Structure 1
Amino acid sequence: MNYDGTLDWMLDEALGMPETLHAILLSRDGLLRAHSQGITRDEAERQAAALCGAVSISRNTAGFCGYAEQELSPPWRQTLIEFDDAYVLAIAAGEGSYLAVSATDRVDLEACSFRMQQLVERLGKAMTSPSRLDAGTRA
């Protein structure tokens, strides 16, 4: 799926609470699907690729928490990255997509996560990124 900016408006709504900075919607394979107004497309694409890796690592540590290796879909809920004065939260946003929001250290993390979940529930189908069927074929 190519980035076309049609979902960007949704992410501006995710930033409607105090201390949030940026929001991006990315596919499971790290492609940018949408970004909020305050971040450039180039930076959003860079962050989408990085967050794809962070989420993948998070999901693959389920065994460290006692989940069986053979579980196809461990019960991952979110990834939180903490800095001295900022956070990044990433959650599932429909099949094959993740929603990520950055915020200052003054954000109410619980409220931010809740608002992200509400956005995903309300706009779920639009946020879904189906698997690419032609991933292994040549054009």
Structure 2
Amino acid sequence: MIQQRANFDWMLKELYSGVPGIHMIVVLSSDGLRLARYAGDPDAADRVAAACAGLQSLAGAVAQEIPSTDGDMNLVVIEMEGGYFYLMAAGANAYLAVLADVRCEPGRMSGMMRDLVVRIGAHLTSPPRRDGHSV
């Protein structure tokens, strides 16, 4: 289970401060529950987390169609008019999502996200839940 949010605030802040243009960082479980966030509106972070559950499932289904892969989703980048959305696997049943504007350089962002996941990935896990409770 992810530790207290306060324990990760400084690491999420480091990502936020390290790449210009970030609007919101969300850590979520694979079923779309927001575990932590930095910046942005809490309600918007909940909506992003819920949407990410579907996106990571879709990306995983597509990845299974690629021969010689394990079918796991590593990184999804969506370029939109005015910005980017990033979703990265960040541990067992956990993901790191970032919304950023056009000032953000995609290569730098994905590199910084990978660095963060490597540093705290073991702590960014969310055990599977059944009936709303951890199993």
What is the rounded CA distance, in whole Å, between the counterparts of 1:97 and 1:123 in structure 2? 11
Report the equivalent of 2:109.
112
Deviations 1:64-103 (Å, cap 9, x if unpaired)? 4x337xx7x4142211122111100000001100001111
Q: What does residue 40 of structure 2 align with? A: 39
Q: 1:2 to 1:110 in 2, by over 3 A?
A: closer
Q: For 2:74, which of 68, 72, 77 is the aligned residue?
A: 77
Corresponding residue pairs, total? 131
Give SS of 2:85's match: strand
Change (3 A) 1:137 1:88: closer
Which TM-score applies when normalising by structure 1? 0.82
- Which ranges of structure 1 fall in alignment gaps of 5 or more residues? none
Deviation >4 Å, runs of 4+: 1-4
Percent sequence identity over aligned pairs: 34
Q: Using the alignment, how far apart are the partners of 1:93 and 1:100 within structure 2?
A: 9
SS at match of 1:99: strand
CA shift for structure 1 position 39 = 1.3
Mark the CA change 1:32 to 1:12 in structure 2 (over 3 Å): closer, same or farther: same
When the two structures are superposed, what TM-score results if normalisation uses the length of structure 2? Answer: 0.84
Equivalent residue runs for 1:113-128 within 5 Å? 113-128=110-125
2: distance between equivalents of 1:93 and 1:33? 12
CA distance in 2, matches of 1:137, 1:31: 10
Where does residue 26 of structure 1 map in the other structure?
28
Q: Higher strand proportion, which one?
A: 2
State whether residues 2 and 123 of structure 2, in contact with CA within 8 Å, keep that contact through their aligned partners in structure 1. no
Given residue 11 of structure 2, which amino acid in structure 1 is its aligned partner? M
**How far does residue 48 in structure 1 lie from its aligned partner after superposition?**
0.2
Question: 3-state SS of the aligned residue for 2:51?
Answer: helix
CA distance in 2, matches of 1:30, 1:3: 17
Q: Does 1:67 align with 2:64?
A: no
SS in 2 for 1:22: strand
Task: Quote how far apart the aligned CAs of 1:54 are.
Answer: 1.1
Residues 2 and 111 of structure 1, relative CA distance in 2, 3 Å threshold:
closer
* Separation in 2, partners of 1:97, 1:67: 25
Conserved 8 A contact 2:2-2:124: no
The higher radius of gyration belongs to 1
